[in-house]
């Protein structure tokens, strides 16, 4: 079935999901972005709803329709995403699947930047807030289960394990997005779920199946503890 069901392993839970890229404007017509399709995050939001959760999806620009039964908040920049996440808390489970732009322009030109005799513009970039790290390191109001993603080119388990520690996440879902593996933008995903007590490597699955499996594991993890 579609959308939220009346009872399931996540009934009574609030699940917050970020998905998609962020776009960071340079001027009124140009931006810095990335190739994230948003498919995996959208699938996670839909799976959580199917398992009975109340779901908030904070989504950057994608070509996908809003999942049924999910409260979807559309944002463009990393800072807008951060504010929307903050406004949606508290949550029992937070899944940070978005490919947040690491940098934005130090200043956004109010008029279209023109080609000229001065040569190409020298872009000055500043770092965006780290949404996952900020939320995961909160004492009060930290979601009981914080799940991050690590899309890596290279050793996904090693790099993902580093991120588990540096971000303060409970789980990191890591995958290898090297172009020759054809994962980015595709409909399948082969992930390693990294927890503090070990790594589970899942076979190549559809993004829907990764989502369902992840949300079933999350439901089991949060069990019968306090509900938000
Ligand atoms: N993330 C976030 N806010 C950011 C950057 C990343 O919430 N500003 C989250 C992503 O949604 C993901 C996790 O952090 O769940 C890891 O993102 P990633 O880009 O792999 O990590 P970075 O710390 O930005 O490291 P790098 O890009 O240098 O590998
Ligand atoms: Ca990054």
The arithmetic mean of pLDDT across residues 195-223, rounded, is 96
Q: What is the pLDDT of the chain when averaged over all its residues?
A: 93
Distance CA 199, CA 172 (A): 9
Q: Omega of the bond prior to 90 within 30 degrees of 0, cis? A: yes
What does the DSSP 8-state code read for residue 7? Answer: S
pLDDT at 226: 52
* Residue 87 pLDDT > 70: yes
ipTM for the predicted complex comes to 0.99
From the CA atom positions of the chain, what is the Rg in Å? 18
Q: Which residues are catalytic?
A: 34
Give the C-alpha separation, 215 to 43, whole Å: 10
CA of 129 to the centre of ligand 1 (A): 10
Kindly report the protein residue whose alpha carbon is nearest to atom 26 of ligand 1: 102
Ligand nearest to the CA of 18: 1
The length of the chain, given as a count of residues: 228
Atom of ligand 1 at shortest range from CA of 129: 8
Residues 6-40 pLDDT 10s: 689 999 999 999 999 999 999 999 999 999 999 99
- Ligand with minimal distance to 152 CA: 1
Q: Which is more confident, 187 or 65?
A: 65
Work out the percent of the chain whose per-residue pLDDT is above 70: 94
Q: pLDDT by residue (tens digit) across 137-191?
A: 999 999 999 999 999 988 999 999 999 999 999 999 999 888 777 666 788 899 9
CA of 225 to the centre of ligand 1 (A): 28
* Residue range 179-188, pLDDT digits in tens: 777 666 788 8
Binding-site sequence positions: 102, 112, 129-132, 149, 163, 167
Binding site residue list for CTP: 102, 112, 129-132, 149, 163, 167
CA-CA distance, 114 to 109, in Å (whole number)? 11
Ligand 1 is surrounded, with C-beta below 6 A, by 18, 78, 96, 98, 100, 102, 128-132, 148-151, 163, 167
């Amino acid at each position: 079935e579609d959308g939220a069901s009346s009872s399931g392993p996540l009934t009574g839970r609030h699940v917050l999901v970020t998905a998609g890229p962020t776009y960071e404007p340079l001027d009124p017509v140009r931006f810095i972005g990335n190739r994230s399709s948003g498919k995996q995050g959208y699938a996670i939001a839909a799976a959580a709803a199917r398992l009975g959760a109340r779901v908030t999806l904070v989504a950057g620009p994608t070509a996908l329709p809003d999942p049924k039964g999910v409260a979807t908040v559309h944002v463009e920049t990393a800072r807008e995403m951060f504010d929307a996440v903050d406004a949606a808390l508290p949550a029992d489970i937070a899944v940070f699947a978005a490919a947040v732009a690491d940098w934005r322009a130090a200043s956004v030109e109010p008029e279209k930047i023109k080609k000229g005799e001065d040569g190409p513009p020298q872009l000055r970039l500043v770092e965006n807030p780290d949404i996952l790290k900020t939320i995961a390191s909160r004492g009060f109001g930290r979601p009981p289960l914080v799940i991050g993603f690590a899309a890596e080119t290279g050793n996904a388990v090693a790099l993902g394990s580093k991120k588990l520690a540096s971000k303060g996440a409970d789980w990191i879902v890591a995958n290898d997005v090297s172009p020759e593996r054809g994962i980015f933008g595709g409909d399948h995903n082969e992930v390693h779920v990294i927890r503090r007590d070990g790594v589970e490597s899942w076979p190549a699955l559809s993004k829907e199946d990764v989502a369902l499996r992840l949300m079933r594991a999350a439901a089991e993890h949060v069990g019968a503890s306090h509900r938000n």
